Structure 1
Amino acid sequence: MVGIPGRSEGCHTCRARKKGCDLQRPYCGQCIKGNFICRGYQREVTFIRHDQSYLGKADEATIRQSSARWLSNNSIVRREAAQPNQVFHPLPEELSRTAFEVKSFSLFWDLYLPKARFLPSDSRSSTAAGWAKVVQDLSPEHDVLRSALLAVSVSRIGRSNEDSSMIGKGMELYGKALFQVNRALRDPNRAKGDELLAACRLLSFYEQFNVSCPTELSDRLSQARNWQHHVQGSGKLIEFRGPQKHSSQHGHKMFVETRMSGVILAITNRKATFLSEPDWSRVPWETIPKTIRDELMDIMVLLPHICEEFDQIKLCQDTSQAVQRGQILIGKCWKLDDCLQKWYRKFIFQLSGHFVATEFLPIIQAVNTASDELSPEIFYHQGLEVLHSVVLYWTACTVLYSTMRIMFQWFPGLHFGGSFSVQPARTDPQKYTLYIMRSVKYFLQPEAGLHGAQNISFPLGVALNYLAAANETPTEEYSNLVQSIHEATKTPAGSWIGGFLTGLQRNSVPKTVQTVADGYFGTRARARTWYGANSLQQSSRIQE
Structure 2
Amino acid sequence: MVGVAGKSKGCNTCRARKIACDQQRPACARCTRSNRVCGGYERDRVFVMMQPGAKKKHVYLKSSPSPLESSVESSPRSAEPSTLSPAGRNQARYSLTERAPAYTLLQRQNDSHNLVLSFLANCLPAAWSTAPSRSWITLLASLPTEVKALEVSSAALATAAVGRKFNDPALVQYSHSLYTRGLQQLQRALWNRRLAQDDATLAACMALSLYEAMECPNAGSEGYFGHCQGLLALVEARGIDAHCSGPGHQLFLGVRIPGILYSLENHSSSFLFDAAWMNQPWGQTPKTSFTQVVDCLAQAPGILQRVFLLPSLSPGQQVEACFQLIAECWQIDERLDTIYAVMQDGRSDPLYWPVASNYPSPSTTEHGQNLFPSVFHFADFETAATLILLWAVRVLLWSGLCNLYKGMFPTSSVLPADEPVGPLRALGHRREYIFMAHHVCQSVEYLMQDDFLLAGPLSVTPALGIVIDSLRYQPEHAAVVAWLRAALDLVRQKGLGVLEHSR
Q: TM-score, normalised by structure 2?
A: 0.71
The whole-number CA distance in structure 1 between the counterparts of 2:352 and 2:443 is 22
More deviation, 431-440/102-111? 102-111
Q: Are the counterparts in 2 of residues 397 and 429 from structure 1 also a CA contact under 8 Å?
A: yes
Corresponding residue for residue 154 of structure 1: 159
Question: Which residue number corresponds to residue 503 of structure 1?
Answer: 501
| Residue in structure 2 matching 1:191, options 193, 196, 215 | 196
Per the alignment, residue 446 of structure 1 pairs with: 450
Which of 472, 487, 490 pairs up with 1:488?
490
Query: In the alignment, residue 474 of structure 2 is paired with which amino acid?
Result: A
Aligned residue for 2:397, secondary structure, equals: helix
Consecutive unaligned residues in structure 1, runs of 5 or more: 13-24, 29-37, 46-57, 72-93, 213-218, 360-371, 506-544
1:26–1:40 CA contact under 8 A, matched in 2: no
What is the one-letter code of the residue matched to 2:170?
Answer: S
Provide the C-alpha distance between the structure 1 equivalents of 2:319 and 2:48, rounded to a whole number of angstroms.
Answer: 82
| Alignment correspondent of 2:341 | 345
Q: Counterpart of 1:446 in structure 2: which amino acid? A: D
Distance, in Å, in 2 between the alignment partners of 1:26 and 1:489 is 26
Is residue 125 from structure 1 mapped to residue 121 from structure 2 by the alignment?
A: no
Q: How far apart, CA to CA, are the structure 2 residues paired with 1:42 and 1:417?
A: 79
Alignment of 1:410 onto 2:402: no
Q: Which AA in structure 2 matches 1:319? A: P
Distance 1:139 1:308 in 2: 40
In 1, the alpha carbon distance for the partners of 2:198 and 2:109 equals 25
1:391 to 385, 388, 392: 388
Q: What is the CA–CA distance in structure 1 between the aligned matches of 2:232 and 2:471, rounded to whole Å?
A: 30
* Alignment check: 8 A CA contact 2:440 2:463 kept: yes
Q: Deviations over 1:14-34 (max 9, x none)?
A: xxxxxxxxxxx9779xxxxxx
Whole-angstrom distance in 2 between the partners of 1:473 and 1:432: 13
User: What TM-score does the superposition give when structure 1 sets the normalisation length?
Assistant: 0.66
Tell me how far 1:105 sits from its aligned partner.
1.7
Cα pair 2:392 2:440 within 8 Å, conserved:
yes
Residue 242 (structure 1) aligned with residue 247 (structure 2): no
Read off the aligned partner of 2:120 and give its amino acid letter: W
Q: Quick one: distance in 2 between partners of 1:69 and 1:320?
A: 75
- Tell me by how many angstroms 1:312 deviates: 1.0
Residue 324 of structure 1, CA deviation: 2.7
User: Do the aligned partners of 1:125 and 1:293 also contact (CA within 8 Å) in 2?
Assistant: no
**Cα displacement (A) at 1:490:** 6.7
Residues 163/404 of structure 1: CA separation in 2 closer, same or farther (3 Å cut) = same
Work out whether residues 149 and 204 of structure 2, in 8 Å CA contact, stay in contact via their aligned partners in 1.
Answer: yes
Contact 2:398 2:430 in 1 (8 A): no
Alpha-carbon distance, 1:418 to partner:
9.7
The offset of 1:421, in angstroms, is: 4.8
Q: Is residue 2:116 matched to residue 1:105?
A: yes
Label 1:418 to 1:388 Cα distance change in 2 as closer, same or farther (>3 A).
Answer: farther
Task: Tell whether 2:262 aligns with 1:265.
Answer: yes
Per-residue CA deviations over 1:514-538 (Å, capped at 9, x if unaligned) read: xxxxxxxxxxxxxxxxxxxxxxxxx
Residue 350 of structure 2 is matched in structure 1 by: 355
Per chain length, whose mean CA-contact separation is higher, i.e. which structure has more relative contact order (CA < 8 Å, sep 6+)?
Answer: 1
**Residue 289 (structure 1) aligns with:** 286
Please report how far the alpha carbon of residue 309 of structure 1 lies from its aligned counterpart in structure 2 after TM superposition: 0.8
Q: For 1:125, what is the secondary structure of its paired residue?
A: coil
Note the C-alpha offset of 1:384.
Answer: 1.1
Q: What is the SS of the residue equivalent to 2:286?
A: coil
Letter in 2 for 1:152: L
Q: CA deviation at 1:114?
A: 1.9
Partner AA of 1:67 in structure 2: A
Q: Which amino acid aligns with 1:322?
A: Q
Q: Which residue of 2 aligns with 1:540?
A: none
| SS of residue paired to 2:473 | helix
Alpha-carbon distance in structure 1 between the residues aligned to 2:49 and 2:500: 56
1: distance between equivalents of 2:197 and 2:394?
35
Deviation per CA, 1:133-168: give whole Å up to 9, x if none.
Answer: 422111444322111110111123333444443222
CA distance in 2 between counterparts of 1:286 and 1:183 reads 33
Name the structure where helix makes up a greater proportion of residues. 1
* Equivalence map 1:86-235=2 (5 Å): 96-97=107-108, 100-116=111-127, 119=128, 123=130, 125-128=132-135, 131-211=136-216, 220=219, 222=220, 224-235=221-232
Deviation at 1:43, TM superposition (A): 7.3
The residue aligned with 2:64 is: none
C-alpha contact (below 8 Å) 1:225/1:504 kept by paired residues: no
Tell me the equivalent position of 2:84: 44
Contact 1:441 1:488 in 2 (8 A): no
Q: Unaligned 5+ residue runs, structure 2?
A: 1-46, 61-73, 97-104, 355-370
CA displacement, residues 108-132 of structure 1 (integer Å, 9 cap, x when unaligned): 213431244xx59xx352231xx23
Counterpart AA for 1:354: D
What's the offset of the Cα at 1:196? 0.7
Cα distance in 1 between the residues matched to 2:257 and 2:485: 29
Q: CA deviation at 1:340?
A: 1.8
Q: What is the one-letter code of the residue matched to 1:451?
A: A
Q: Secondary structure at the match of 1:469?
A: coil
Q: Aligned equivalents of 1:67 and 1:95: distance in 2?
A: 16
Aligned identity (percent) is 22
Shift in Å, 1:318: 3.1
Once residues 481 and 340 of structure 2 are traced to their aligned partners in structure 1, the CA distance between those partners, rounded to angstroms, is 29
> Aligned partner of 1:431: which letter?
F
The alpha carbon displacement at 1:480 in A equals 9.8
1:276 partnered with 2:273? yes
- What's the counterpart of residue 522 of structure 1? none
Change (3 A) 1:111 1:419: farther
Distance in 1 (alpha carbons) for counterparts of 2:233 and 2:489: 37
1:300 aligned residue (284, 288, 297): 297
